[in-house]
Amino acid sequence: MIPSNSLIYWLLILLAPWFSPQFVVAEALKGQVVAIADGDTLTLLVGSAQHKVRLTEIDTPERAQPWGQKAKQALAAKVFQRTVMVQVSGHDRYGRTLGRVYLDNRDINRELVEEGHAWAYRQYLTDQDFLTAEALARDLKLGLWGSPSPVPPWDWRRGKRKAKPRDEDLATTSLQCGNKHFCKEMIHCAEARFHLLTCGVTSLDGDKDGIPCEALCN
C-alpha cells in the first residue's frame, strides 16, 4: 500500500504543470464604459460594480498637458458608452484595474499609440510592438507628434515641462513652504504646483495624477 503522504507528493508532481503561469487564465472584465477620466483611464460598469481601469502599455498626456484633452476625447470617441472587454493584468497602488481594452477585435490601447495619442509606456512595457507603433506615428507626425517637441507624460509629471515662463510661474520665486495644505488656500496654479512638487504637500493631489488643485490647474 502506498503511504498517503507519498501519494499526495506524486499527485502534486503530476498536477504542477497545470498551475504554472502559462496555464493560468487571465481575468477578464466585460462591461460598459461609463466615464473617461483621461486618455488612459476609464470607468467600467460590470453589473452594479464600477471598476476604474488604467490602460496598460501606454501613457497619454496629462489633462493639463498639451494634447491631454485630445487624448481623452480620442478614448471617449472609441469606447464611451460602449461594451468592452478588459484583459486584466493586475492592479496598481491606487487600486485601479490594469489591463488591455478590447472593443470587438480592436486593441484600443494599441490604437491610441498608432494614432499618436499616446506614448509606449517604457517603464512598464511588456509588449515591444508598442514601440514600433509609436515610432511609426512619430514618423508620420500623427497626433501629438505634430508638435515640434512633445514632452513625455512621465517627464511632465516630474516637473520637466518645456514651456515659456508665465507671469504666475515667475511668482514662484517668492513662494515659501509654510502652513498651506489645501487647494482653497492657493492663489494660482503655480503656487499649487510649488507646494506639491517642492514642499511635498500631497493633499493637493487627491487623485495622485501629478496635477494639484485641478480647479486651478485645468
Same domain, 75 and 180: no
CATH number at residue 137: 2.40.50.90
For this structure, is 96 an active site residue? Answer: yes
Judge contact between 195 and 180, C-beta under 8 A: yes
Which of 62, 111, 114, 191 is catalytic? The answer is 62
C-alpha torsion angle, residues 78, 107, 209, 118 (rounded to 10): -90
In a domain, 200, yes or no: yes
Same domain, 117 and 188: no
pLDDT in tens, the chain (218 residues): 545 566 665 665 566 555 544 444 469 999 999 999 999 999 999 999 999 999 999 999 999 899 999 999 999 999 999 999 999 999 999 999 999 999 999 999 999 999 999 999 999 999 999 999 999 999 999 999 999 889 999 999 988 544 444 544 545 556 788 888 888 888 888 888 888 888 888 888 887 777 888 777 76
Last residue of a domain, one of 156, 187, 209: 156
Same domain, 150 and 177: no
- Region for 167 from its dihedrals, namely left if φ exceeds 0, alpha if ψ lies in -120 to 50, beta otherwise: alpha
For this structure, is 110 an active site residue? Answer: no
Look up the domain containing 134 and give its range. 28-156
Same domain, 172 and 148: no
Q: Tell which residue, 80, 73, 76, has the closest CA to residue 33.
A: 80
For this structure, is 82 an active site residue? Answer: no
Same domain, 56 and 138: yes
In a domain, 98, yes or no: yes
Pairing mode, strands 41-46 and 49-55: antiparallel
Same domain, 72 and 152: yes
Which of 96, 100, 110, 193 is catalytic? The answer is 96
Last residue of a domain, one of 138, 156, 174: 156
Same domain, 141 and 201: no
